[in-house]
Amino acid sequence: MKLYYGFDSRISDFQTIDMLKVAMKNSKTYGYEIVFYGDSQSIDDLKEHYDYSVDISECNFQFKDDIKIYIHSNEDINCITIDANVLIGEPIDASYASVWFLEREHTESYDDMLEHFSKHGTKYHIQGFKNQSNKFVNTNLISFNDIHVKEDFIQGYEILKSFYLDIIEPEETLSEKGWNMSKILSEYYFACLLEENEINSAYLSDDHKFDLL
Give just the sign of the alpha carbon dihedral 108, 86, 175, 158.
negative
Question: The CATH number of the domain where 29 resides is what?
Answer: 3.90.550
Which stretches of 25-180 are assigned E, i.e. beta strand?
33-38, 52-55, 80-82, 86-88, 99-101, 104-106, 135-137, 141-144
d(CA 80, CA 88): 12
pLDDT at residue 175 in the model: 87
Q: What is the mean pLDDT of residues 201-213?
A: 93
Strand order, beta sheet including 33-38: 52-55, 33-38, 2-7, 80-82, 141-144, 99-101, 201-203
What is the tens place of the pLDDT at every residue in 124-158? 999 999 998 999 999 999 999 999 999 999 999 99
Q: Using 50, 70 and 90 to split pLDDT, how confident is the model at 213? A: confident
* CA-based nearest residue to 161, from 134, 141, 188: 188
Specify whether the CB–CB gap between 86 and 212 falls below 8 A: yes
pLDDT at residue 13 in the model: 75
- Structural domain total, the chain: 1
pLDDT at residue 30 in the model: 97
Domain that holds residue 205: 2-212
